Every structure is written in C-alpha cells, then in structure tokens.
Chain A
Amino acid sequence: MEQSVNYLGLIPLFPLLGAVLIGLLHVFTCNRTKLPEKVYGILACVGPVLSFVMALKVFVALKGLPPESRFLVHKAFTWFSVGDLHINMGFLADPLSCLMLLFVTFIGSLIHIYSIGYMGGDKNYGKFFAYMNLFLGSMLVLVLGDGPVVMFVGWEGVGLCSYLLISFYSEDRSNVLAGNKAFIVNRVGDLGFVLGMSFLFWAIGAQGFDYLSLKAHVNDPAMTQGVLLTVCLLLFVGATGKSAQIPLYVWLPDAMAGPTPVSALIHAATMVTAGVYMVARFSFLYAEVALAGSIVAWVGILTALLAAIFGMFQEDIKKVLAYSTVSQLGYMFAGVGVAAYSAGIFHVFTHAFFKALLFLGAGSVIYALHHEQNIWKMGGLKNKMPKTYVTMVIGALALAGCPPFSGFFSKDEILYSALATGHFGIWAVGVLVAGMTAYYTFRMIFVVFHGEPRDHHAYEHAQESPAVMTVPLIILAVGALFAGLLNLPAIFGGDQIVSHWLAPSVTEHHPHAGVFIEILAIGASVVAFAIGIKIAYAKFGKGAPEPSFTGFADFAYHKFYVDELYDKVIVQPYKAIGSSIWKVIEPNVTDAPVKGVARLYMVLGTAFKVFQVGYVRVYALYMVLGLSLMSLLLSQSLN
C-alpha cells in the first residue's frame, strides 16, 4: 500500500542546508568584508527551487499510483524510541501533503526571488535569507512529517523563524516585542498541541505514532468520545496559536513588524496555514466527534467576523492585509470545522496565491514609497505603478470573492458546505463577512491607488519596482486568477479536481444538497460582494480625507482594546506574580523556615551569651554549681 522513496527527506533538507550555509557565511563575514548580495540571493533561491522540483516529482509519482494507495513514505532514521514510544524521523507524502508541498515550495520560491529585490541594500541581507530558508525548511518538515511529533518539529520551527523574522529589525524595541509576542503566543498554542499529542499517544499511540497507524487505530476502544474530544480540542488550541484564531490571534497583526516578504511568507504560504493543515491531517479524529468540529467552525467564523471588523478601520496597509488573513483563516477553520476538509484546504491553496500577491504588491508599494505604510499618506499610485496596481486589483478581487477569481470558488465552497450541513448561523455570518471583506479590501485599493496623491513628495519619487519583484507578482496574479478553476464545482461544469485528489487523505462526507441550496449560497456571496464593493466605492472611490473615528468605529480602530485587555489580564499579572514571588514570597515564605533556623540560633546565642561573662572564676562557679547539683541529686539516691 505504501511505497518508500528516499527523496522525500531531501525536500526539507534543501532549504535547511541552505539556511545553515547562508547563516554560516553571514555570521563569519558580517563584521568583516561582506560578500556580494548576489551570492546570498542565488544560494537562497537554490534550496526552495530544488524543493519545488522535488515536489513536482512527488506529485508525478503520486499521480502514477491508484488513488486509494497514494502514499509515499520515507523513514530517514529512528528518532527516539523508549518503551512503547517509537518515533521515526519519517516523511509521508500523500495527496494532502503533496498539495501543500506544491504551493508552499512554489510560492516560497517566488517570495525568495522577490526578496532579492526587496531586501537589496539591507546590512543583514544574509541573515534574512538564512531565516527565510530555515522558515521554508521548517514548514516543509511540518507538511511532510509522518506523525504528530515530526510535525511538531516543523510546527515549532516556523514559530521560531517567525520570531526571528518579525524581530528582524532588532534595533527597534517594538519589533522585538512583536517577535516575542509571536513566539510566546505560539508557544501557548504549542502547549495545547503537546498535550493533545500526549493524550493521543496514551490512547492509541503504542502501536505506532504516525498518521497511518493512528488512522488505523482510531476506532480502538481506548479512543472514547471523551478522549477524542479532549485530543481534538487540545490540538485545535495548537491550531489557534499557529493560525491566529480567537483567542490567540493577537500576534499576527503585530507580526507586520517584519520585512514585507516575511509577512507574505508567514501569511500566505507557510505558518498560518499550518493550523488548517493540521486539522485536515487529523480529519480522521475530527470526523469522529461532531462537537469538536462545530467548536472549530464557530471559533473560525467568529474570528473571521472579528478580524473583518478590525480590518475595516486599519490605516496601515499591511495591517489591513493581516486582518484579512486572520479573517480568511477563520473561513478555512469554518470549512474544516463543518467537515469540508477539502474545501478548507482548497481555500488555503487559493488564499496562498492571492494573499502572497497582495502582500508582495503591498511590499512593492512600500518599497516605492520608501517604507511608508500608512494608506492615508498614499493615493493615486495607479499611474505610477501600473503593474503593481493591476496585479493587486486581481488579488483584491480574488480576496473579496469576485466570481471568476480563485477566492470566489474556494470561499463559496466553504459557505455552501456550511449551509449544506445545516450550520445556518455560520453561513449567515460567513456571508456578512464576505461583504465586509469586499468593503475593506477595496477601501484599501481605492485609497492607495485612486484619487489624488496625499503626500506629493513621496508621490514624485515613487516608481515601479524592478522586474525581480514584478515578475513574481505577475506569476502570482495568474495563479490568483485561475487557481479557482482547479476545483470547479459541478454546477459550473467542473469536476472538483482538488476534492477528488484530496479524497484519500481526508475523512470527509460530501454533503448532497439540492441545486437550490447551491444557488442560494452562490447568490448570497455575490450579492454580499457587490454590496461591499459598492459601499467602498461610494466612500473612497473618488479619494477621501483621512477619517477620524468615533464611537464604535473608534472602538474597532483600537481593535476592541483586546491587546490592552490581554496586557492587563495576563501579562501584567504574570509579571506581578513574578516580582511578588521574588520580592515577597521568596524571602518571607519559602525562605522563612531557613531564615527562621538561622534566627533561632541567633536568639539562642544571644540568650546564652549572658552566661559568658568572661571571668574565669565564674566559669569555675558554673562547674561547681553543676557538681553541687549533681551531688545533691546523688546524695538522695545514696542511702
């Protein structure tokens, strides 16, 4: 059933080796003569491109197998093995991971190429590419890992790299704090993942702790509903951390502190999609407990709503995109939550294209304006940067869910699945969010590219980015345009290639609802899109002044004060507990018995000091007194 191929391990190895090589080169040259940037750029792109080629090879190999036995495995070595716990450093390529593999390496490579231009002139050029390669390598480990533990390696690896890349401009404290936040919040999620893994192991892990064995034993008696629910929810906690869902989404907007290609890499291709991928990977567990799925779906759709609200009021171009990512991730979770795993993954797939496109486009704008990120200082750029403008509009249309574009099909698939499985609430919120998405996306487009330039000085100097940056944009734009067609539903004459491709990997039951439901879903989405874009055009189409927010808008502008709330409720008390332990509890409670013993000796010493008068005869007197007392006692007993 499974076929072993040893080139699987090479796929993550290429970028990882690249990272080590570039990192060492950078470390040893950064304070001396610097290597030319080209060396780093080329070295950095070799790894991802080679991985992409290997991914294609994997795809071809899988394609050549009959659908039900599309598994390629590679056991590199025994990782650790203690008692019942046998963990191999093993890799698994099946349709699901292959799909992820293809677009991760593809988009990752494009972002690397783009970065050659974007990062030009940075003094830590080499460091940047080392981190990027490490990031991609970790993501590939995550995707290819044959079991939860190997996945966890990549899982934490991307967390680390996001920390390193977000705090890349480390001289500025706020950037480093954003990095810290990302790592720590991710770690909270990781705790859930580790605990989930542990419970899963003690239930059914003894016979082998990789996906295929777990899947085979999922109906064991040890796997009660309670255990299943616990495991699913704990794993989902991990997913909320990595994929920025309520309540752990707070790190993602701050992650904009890193260089723009990093944001693209984090948001589009790699890190944030890991949560969705993980839930899909464990679909055989989630399929067993409906409750867990519902929770996932509701958390997802509420995150989508919340992030959309925030997104409508942001002024930083990257923050708008960041909240749109959070929002789209919410959709994906709604999708996998209602057991439409292929729809969720398909949205991951299309989202990777248009979000990478949007971020790289935004990066192009920022690059042209010399690192200006406030949209209220832009405007009228469409004439200056035509390629960027066109590609970004394509991306925006895809994000907003305009019918022929990729985002439409994937989002519609999710909303349709929600409706078809009877989750009307999720569907309704989803439609609402679709409208809001259209609104804030085009608000951004209109403000940045249309109207009159707001900052004339910056406008004068703005120019189209070099080809090394625009070519990836164009490639991604093509992807954003047509990727949706891959999974064309039957109603449009397609045959859902992606869903069928994924079928062997995920455990899902395609709902069969009537054509009416399907048309209702599509219609509602289109209407929501139209309303959203219309409002945006009405308000910002002809150029608009920077608004000042009041009331609810102000509240939303400040992101409902969630960051402040977390700071007050978690961070400050945490620090307060820390310092109270150090300043109050440690000296007065924990150390008190020890100090008490010392004090006891001191007190006894002072008490007995009185007798040490220093006169020899008094010491003699003590002796005689003792003798005398002894004599008294003894003479009692002498008779």
Chain B
Amino acid sequence: MMHCYLYLSIILFCLGIVGVIARRNVFTVFMSVELMLNAANLAFITFSRVHESMDGHVLAMMVMAVAAAEAALALAVVILLHKHKSKLDTNVFSLLKG
C-alpha cells in the first residue's frame, strides 16, 4: 500500500509544478505551491507510518507552520502588487527582465 501513497504524492507534486509553471494567476500559482507542500507532507506521513516513528509528523507540522507563514507573507505581497498594478497576472511583474 505504501507505494500507492507515494505515487499519489508524486502525482500531486507534479500537478503542483505544472500549476506553477503553466498558470499566470497569482493565486493559482500560490496555491500550487501549497499543493506541492502538501504532496511532500503526504510523503512524510507515509514514511512515518512505515517506520512507525512520529518524526515525520513533527516535520509535517513544521511544514504547515511554514506554509502558514508563507501564506501570510505571500498574501501580503499579493495585496501590495494588486494595489500597485491592479492586476493578478504574474507576467505584469517582470522587473528582472534583462
């Protein structure tokens, strides 16, 4: 059964990547990142179960905390950007263009 969980984790992770690189909506991109974090969490929990050690759970909690912190900051940035340009398109923000 472990394999199935891990395959699911991989599928979700890949979907997250696709979301990040294919979409231009800031929210979708952000949530895709969250999706990747969750995929990782699933793998943590799975391995934790397999090894019957709860360190994975602790790590999952950490990830959640980081996700929360990230959410707070990212959303603040999104608000800021929206105020600046009233757009939610990542392509608008291309200050790094060479």
Contact B98 A612 (CB under 8 A): yes
Residues on the B chain within 8 Å of A612, using CB: 96-98
Q: B42-96: which residues lie under 8 A (CB-CB) from chain A?
A: 90-91, 93-96
B20–A615 contact, CB under 8 A?
no
Interface residues of A in 586-632 (CB under 8 A from B): 608-621, 624
Q: Which residue of B lies closest to A627 (CB)?
A: B17
Q: Whole-angstrom distance between the alpha carbons of A609 and B97 in the complex?
A: 8
Asked if residues B94 and A613 are in contact (CB atoms below 8 Å), the reply is yes
**Does A614 lie within 8 Å of B96, measured CB to CB?**
yes
Which of the four size classes fits the interface of chain A? 10 to 19
Q: How far is the CB of A616 from chain B (nearest CB, A)?
A: 5
Chain B positions within 8 Å of A615 at CB level: 90-91, 94
Q: Is residue B2 within 8 Å, beta carbon to beta carbon, of the partner chain?
A: no
Known A620-B21, A624-B21; judge A614-B90 contact (CB<8 A). no
Point out the residues of chain A lying under 8 angstroms from B97, CB to CB: 612-614
Complex formed: what's the CA distance from A396 to B23 in Å? 110
> Which residues of chain B in 18-51 are interfacial with respect to chain A, using CB atoms and an 8 Å cutoff?
20-24, 29
Write the nearest CB–CB distance from B97 to chain A, whole angstroms: 3
Question: Considering only CB atoms, which chain A residue lies closest to B18 in the complex?
Answer: A624
Asked whether, in the complex, the Cβ of B17 is within 8 Å of the Cβ of A617, the reply is no
Q: State the CA gap A422–B24 with chains docked (Å).
A: 109
Question: What residues of chain A lie closer than 8 Å to B29, measured between beta carbons?
Answer: 616-617
Q: Interface digits, A549-571 against B, CB 8 Å rule (1 contact, 0 not)?
A: 00000000000000000000000
Complex Cα gap A620–B98 (Å):
16
Q: In the complex, A624 Cα to B93 Cα: how many Å?
A: 21
Q: Mark A336-365, 1 if CB is under 8 A from B, else 0.
A: 000000000000000000000000000000
Give the complex CA separation of A618 and B21 in angstroms.
7
Q: Are B98 and A616 in contact (CB under 8 A)?
A: no
**Distance between Cα atoms of A618 and B94 in the complex (Å):** 11
The CA of A618 and the CA of B23, in the complex, are separated in Å by: 11
Q: How many chain B residues touch A (Cβ–Cβ < 8 Å)?
A: 15
Are A624's CB and B17's CB within 8 A? yes
- Complex contacts, A610 vs chain B, CB 8 Å: 98
CB distance from A370 to the nearest CB of B (A): 79
Contact across chains for A617 and B98 when beta carbons are under 8 A apart: no
A609: chain B residues at CB < 8 Å are 98
Chain B residues with CB under 8 Å of A616's CB are: 29, 90, 93
Which A449-498 residues sit within 8 Å CB-CB of chain B?
Answer: none
A145 to B90, CA, bound (A): 89
A608–B24 Cα distance when bound, in Å, is 24
Contact B17 A614 (CB under 8 A): no
Q: How far is the CA of A620 from the CA of B33 in the complex (A)?
A: 11
Contacts of B90 in A (CB 8 A): 615-617
Give the residues in chain A near B96, CB-CB below 8 Å.
Answer: 612, 614, 619
Chain B residue at smallest Cβ distance from A621: B21
Name the contact of A614 in the complex, choosing from B20, B21, B24, B94 (C-beta under 8 A). Answer: B94
CB distance from B7 to the nearest CB of A (A): 16
Contacts of B22 in A (CB 8 A): 617
| B94 with A617: CB separation less than 8 A | no
* A613: nearest chain-B partner, CB-CB: B97
Q: How far does the alpha carbon of A584 sit from the alpha carbon of B94 in the complex, in Å? A: 44
In the complex, what's the smallest C-beta–C-beta distance from B91 to chain A, in angstroms?
5
**Chain A residues within 8 Å of B94, by CB:** 613-615
Chain A residues, CB < 8 A from B21: 617-618, 620-621, 624
State the Cβ distance, B84 to closest chain A Cβ, in Å.
15
Q: In the bound complex, how far is the Cα of B97 from the Cα of A619, in angstroms?
A: 11
Distance, CA A155 to CA B91, complexed state (A): 81
Q: CA–CA, A313 to B29, complex, Å?
A: 101
What residue in chain A is nearest B23 (Cβ atoms)?
Answer: A617
Give Cα A611–Cα B94 distance, bound, in whole angstroms: 13
Assess the B20–A617 pair: CB atoms within 8 A.
yes
Chain B residues near A608 (CB, 8 Å)? 98
Q: Are A617 and B95 in contact (CB under 8 A)?
A: no
Chain A: minimal CB distance from B78 (Å): 13
Contact with B along A278-312 (1 / 0, CB 8 A): 00000000000000000000000000000000000
Bound form: Cα–Cα A621–B21 in Å: 6
In chain A, what residue has the closest Cβ to B24? Answer: A617
Q: How far is the CA of A485 from the CA of B33 in the complex (A)?
A: 118
Q: How far is the CB of B63 from chain A (nearest CB, A)?
A: 20
Give bound CA distance, A616 to B91, whole Å. Answer: 8
How far apart are the CA atoms of A608 and B96 in the complex, in Å?
13
- A621: chain B residues at CB < 8 Å are 21
Give CA–CA (A618, B22) in the complex, Å. Answer: 9
Q: How far is the CB of B4 from chain A (nearest CB, A)?
A: 21
Instruction: Report chain B residues within 8 Å CB of A617.
Output: 20-24, 29, 90
CA distance A611 to B22 in the complex (A): 17
B64 to chain A, nearest CB (A): 23
In the complex, which of the residues B21, B23, B93 has the most CB atoms of chain A within 10 Å of its own CB atom?
B21
A609 to B94, CA, bound (A): 13
- State the CA gap A620–B22 with chains docked (Å): 10
Please, which residues of chain A bring their CB within 8 A of the CB of B24?
A: 617
Task: List the A side residues contacting B17 at CB < 8 Å.
Answer: 620, 624
Bound Cα distance A330, B96 (Å) = 82
Taken together as a complex, chains A and B put the C-alpha atoms of A534 and B93 apart, in Å, by: 106
Shortest distance from the beta carbon of B18 to any chain A beta carbon, whole Å: 9
The minimal Cβ–Cβ distance linking A73 to chain B, given in whole angstroms, is 81
Q: Closest Cβ of chain B: how far from A606's Cβ, in Å?
A: 9
Distance from A97 Cβ to chain B, minimum over Cβ atoms (Å): 80
- Closest Cβ of chain B: how far from A607's Cβ, in Å? 10
**Nearest CB in chain B to that of A616: its residue:** B90
Neighbouring A residues of B91 by C-beta, 8 Å? 615
Residue in chain B with minimal CB distance to A608: B98
Which of chain B's residues has its CB closest to A609's CB? B98
CB-defined contacts of A624 to chain B, threshold 8 Å: 17, 21
In the complex, A616→B22 CA distance in Å?
A: 11
Since A617-B29, A619-B96 are in contact, a sample of 6 more A-B pairs with Cβ atoms closer than 8 Å, ordered by chain A residue number, is: A614-B96, A615-B94, A617-B21, A617-B22, A617-B23, A618-B21
Q: Which residues of B contact A (CB under 8 A)?
A: 17, 20-24, 29, 90-91, 93-98
List residues of chain A with CB under 8 Å of any chain B CB: 608-621, 624
The 5 closest A-B pairs by CB, nearest first: A614-B97, A614-B94, A612-B98, A609-B98, A621-B21
21 contacts between A and B (CB under 8 A): A609-B98, A610-B98, A611-B98, A612-B96, A613-B94, A614-B95, A614-B98, A615-B90, A615-B94, A616-B90, A616-B93, A617-B21, A617-B22, A617-B29, A617-B90, A618-B21, A619-B96, A620-B17, A620-B20, A620-B21, A621-B21
